[in-house]
Structure 1
């Protein structure tokens, strides 16, 4: 079994605060994307959500149809304490690859980089299958190679584009111009439309 798909592995990382990808709040690129997105009724999925700062921000800013998915119950419990009015029915503890549903928007924040690169092709296929026609996959990917064995796992735009274009006809991946200072030059913004 791939340890990266093991709930206990992720629970232990959260309990031991081994979450170097976690910046403690919603990241600027996703915040600015949501701020200009006016369709508050859209159905949103945030997979591998961890502490789910993006879900809290979206929910508190009028997006009521947000679903938070994580393999581990631990970060979901922490999220519920930080956002007590969030509906329990929209907190999903399950394996992303087993999840069924249809969404208008899927927000990617540190989930892609948490998965073993061997799972990236399956990730793209699953994302495509979870989106409604014209649905969007939007988010931040690491645009650097890491010197350690992950997670997180990195990569480069030239490697990502063909991967996403296998399933999505409309894909853009560009350097983030609004990253927080410690991540300047190391993040890419992904937009893929089904």
Structure 2
């Protein structure tokens, strides 16, 4: 399998080299929740990491299934839930092979896609489509990490991998997903670059 292994991510957690981790829930998730756009439902959080978004969603009344294939991430998510007296289904699994017991109403995708080597993006996108109910929503933050070697020489550089919005429009095609009209919300990240926030609806 091309790209980072579970051992790679385990090592990053153990060395506390987790620059993607804000230390709390994404401000964009909070904005979607506070606005009433995203309301309690059965939701998946792939690549849950330390589980900040999982905790927030459970606190707000969602039925959450958190997925990560790194033991350290699972442990951190469970610890963060326990510290708040909250419970969720936390699963150690590979998102490329995971199959839910029943479809989800929504998926919150923040740092999973950009952590997967682009060679596996199509497979992952198909998984997300399969996981959702028809007309279910994918609340996604596309990581923008523009690097000279990538844009000028075609080097595949990551993680995090740059999720070019034109590439995302092709990957999450209109045949399978309903896209809103741009411009999309720019979400600054304190340690990385920024993300583009989009809600897609499964056809």
TM-score if structure 1 supplies the norm length? 0.87
* Cα 1:117/1:166, change in 2 over 3 Å: farther
CA contact (8 A) 1:80 1:86 kept: no
Task: Look up the match of 2:154.
Answer: none
Give CA deviations for 1:57-88 in whole Å, capped at 9, x if unaligned.
1111222x101000012111112112113436
Q: After the TM superposition, which residues 42-191 of structure 1 pair with which residues of structure 2 at under 5 Å, given as runs?
A: 42-63=41-62, 65-84=63-82, 85-87=85-87, 90-101=89-100, 102-147=103-148, 149-165=157-173, 168-172=176-180, 174-177=183-186, 179-180=187-188, 182=190, 186-191=194-199
Counterparts of 1:19 and 1:32, CA distance in 2: 24
Deviation at 1:140? 0.8
CA contact (8 A) 1:142 1:154 kept: yes
Deviation at 1:7? 2.0
Counterparts of 2:189 and 2:112, CA distance in 1: 21
Counterparts of 1:176 and 1:158, CA distance in 2: 15
Matched residue SS, 2:162: coil
CA contact (8 A) 1:175 1:187 kept: no
* Cα 1:15/1:150, change in 2 over 3 Å: same
TM-score if structure 2 supplies the norm length? 0.83
Deviation at 1:176? 2.1
Task: Look up the match of 2:8.
Answer: 9
Counterparts of 1:147 and 1:16, CA distance in 2: 28
Give 5+ residue unaligned stretches, structure 1.
none
Superposition RMSD on alpha carbons, in Å? 2.3
Counterparts of 1:138 and 1:60, CA distance in 2: 18
Deviation at 1:184? 9.9
CA contact (8 A) 2:43 2:65 kept: yes
Deviation at 1:122? 1.1
Matched residue SS, 1:110: coil
Counterparts of 2:47 and 2:77, CA distance in 1: 13
Counterparts of 1:59 and 1:126, CA distance in 2: 23
